[in-house]
Amino acid sequence: MDEETVLLMLREGPRMVLASSYTQGFDPVGHSFGLSSLVAVLPLATLFVLLGVLKVKAYLASLAALLVALVTAVVVYEMGLNQAVLSGSEGAAFGFFPIMWIVINAIWIYNLMPWRYPPRPGSRLLARMHRGEPLISGS
């Protein structure tokens, strides 16, 4: 970074960070798609090796893979550190939402099950579904 860019960043502060953009290069490693692909797969390989081979706990393996992804983005793909961290946090948020949606709905359905006492309002309907009875009886 040259001196003029540093002075601009100091003068503009957070506005400079928001205004900057990142354009991805598809072949940053030796202008080779093959080598760039091998470098890009490092975070996934880290995760799989730590989980499958070394039997590391999942949260530690995912944090290690996140660290490898951040280093790869900043060093190899020349992404700014702030943008790499923001990308990681956005990915975590978008991954966390559907998981929690499934967990909350699973707990809600479990609480409706007929074996729960006292029975919940929807438990008779679920019990009828479980026994294979028709839900709407009519002629």
Task: Write out pLDDT tens, residues 34-90.
Answer: 999 999 999 999 999 999 999 999 999 999 999 999 999 999 998 989 999 999 999
Averaged pLDDT score across all residues of the chain: 82
pLDDT band for position 23 (50/70/90)? confident
Per-residue tokens: 63: 């944090």
Q: For residue 43, give the nearest of 69, 78, 74, 64 by alpha carbon.
A: 69
Residue 56, Cβ density class (10 Å: 0-12 exposed, 13-18 middle, ≥19 buried): middle
Q: How far is CA 130 from CA 112, 113, 114, 119, 136, in A?
A: 12, 10, 9, 15, 14
Q: How many CB atoms lie within 10 A of CB 2?
A: 7
